[in-house]
Amino acid sequence: MALISCNNITMSYENNIVFRDLSFEVNNGDYLCIVGENGSGKSTLIKGLLGLKSTIKGRIEYGNGLKKTEIGYLPQQTSIQRDFPASVYEVVLSGCLNSRGIKPFYSRVEKDTALSNMNRLGVENLKKKCYRELSGGQQQRVLLARALCATKKILLLDEPITGLDPLVASEMYNLIKELNEVDGITIIMVSHDINSAIENASYMLHINNDEGCFCKTSDYIKSEIGIRFLGE
């Protein structure tokens, strides 16, 4: 069974329908990029997959034992988030909150997981630094380490390279691809960077209210909607 299956879902944003009758599925080890024009509902879909927003129609189902609390999430950064006054270690460790229930203190396993993910993302030397003092690229690595504390199966990333310079963005893409190919983590990523999307993703989901496309990347670049979008 697929990790996530969307069956003819319709969703809205501020009482306006953004897409209708959307169907696709994500399996273990997939790397799916979600693309589309501004306002097409990409971030709305991510909130639906996380269980933060309901569908108007259709169903979102989870398989292979996946729980919504086991989905790692890296949201779009806001200016408030960038100025968060906590240490790097505290930010990363907070990724364990969803799965720990009502326990008042972090366990040794959770602390070890946080340190392991900081090491995996190359930010262990920043452990005691204040998060808001980091560069944009360092902050994104910290947030990715935080997201990994919530999951061993799947990451949802909403525009993870926004505001990063080209070199740092490239490093971020390489990290994400490595997590997919080496660690076996399933990736669902919203992106406006269509060229990097088709270079890295195994599947593409193009959202549009009137037409859409879910297929392998090799098929997307030959499709009518893909050719048109790439041309733009």
Minimum mean pLDDT range among 53-57, 68-72, 125-129, 209-213? 209-213
> Of all residues in the chain, what percent carry a pLDDT higher than 70?
93
Spatial CB neighbours of 218, under 8 Å, sequence gap ≥ 6 = none
Minimum mean pLDDT range among 32-36, 37-41, 113-117? 37-41
What does pTM read for this prediction? 0.91
In the prediction, which pLDDT does 182 show? 94
What are the tens digits of pLDDT across the range 63-106?
988 988 889 999 887 655 666 778 999 999 999 887 665 566 78
Residue 106 falls within a domain, yes or no? yes
In the prediction, which pLDDT does 101 show? 59
Spatial CB neighbours of 105, under 8 Å, sequence gap ≥ 6 = none
In the prediction, which pLDDT does 102 show? 58
Residue 125 falls within a domain, yes or no? yes
Query: Of all helices (H) and strands (E), which one includes residue 188?
Result: strand 186-190
Furthest-apart CA atoms within the chain: distance in Å? 54
One-letter amino acid at 25 equals: E
User: What's the domain range around 123?
Assistant: 76-152
* pLDDT band at residue 229 using 50, 70 and 90 as cut-offs: confident
What is the number of domains present in the chain? 1
Tokens of 24: 């696709």
Residue 94 falls within a domain, yes or no? yes
d(CA 55, CA 128): 41
* pLDDT band at residue 117 using 50, 70 and 90 as cut-offs: very high
In the prediction, which pLDDT does 100 show? 62
In the prediction, which pLDDT does 152 show? 87
* pLDDT band at residue 187 using 50, 70 and 90 as cut-offs: very high
Residue 97 falls within a domain, yes or no? yes
> Of all residues in the chain, what percent carry a pLDDT higher than 90?
67
Residue 136 falls within a domain, yes or no? yes
Mean pLDDT of 203-208: 93
Residue 220 falls within a domain, yes or no? no
In the prediction, which pLDDT does 176 show? 95
Share the mean pLDDT of the chain.
90
Residue 117 falls within a domain, yes or no? yes
**Is residue 231 over pLDDT 90?**
no
* pLDDT band at residue 113 using 50, 70 and 90 as cut-offs: very high
What are the tens digits of pLDDT across the range 11-23?
998 889 999 999 9
Residue 187 falls within a domain, yes or no? no
Do the strands 57-62 and 31-35 form a parallel or antiparallel pair, or are they unpaired? unpaired
Mean pLDDT of 32-49: 91
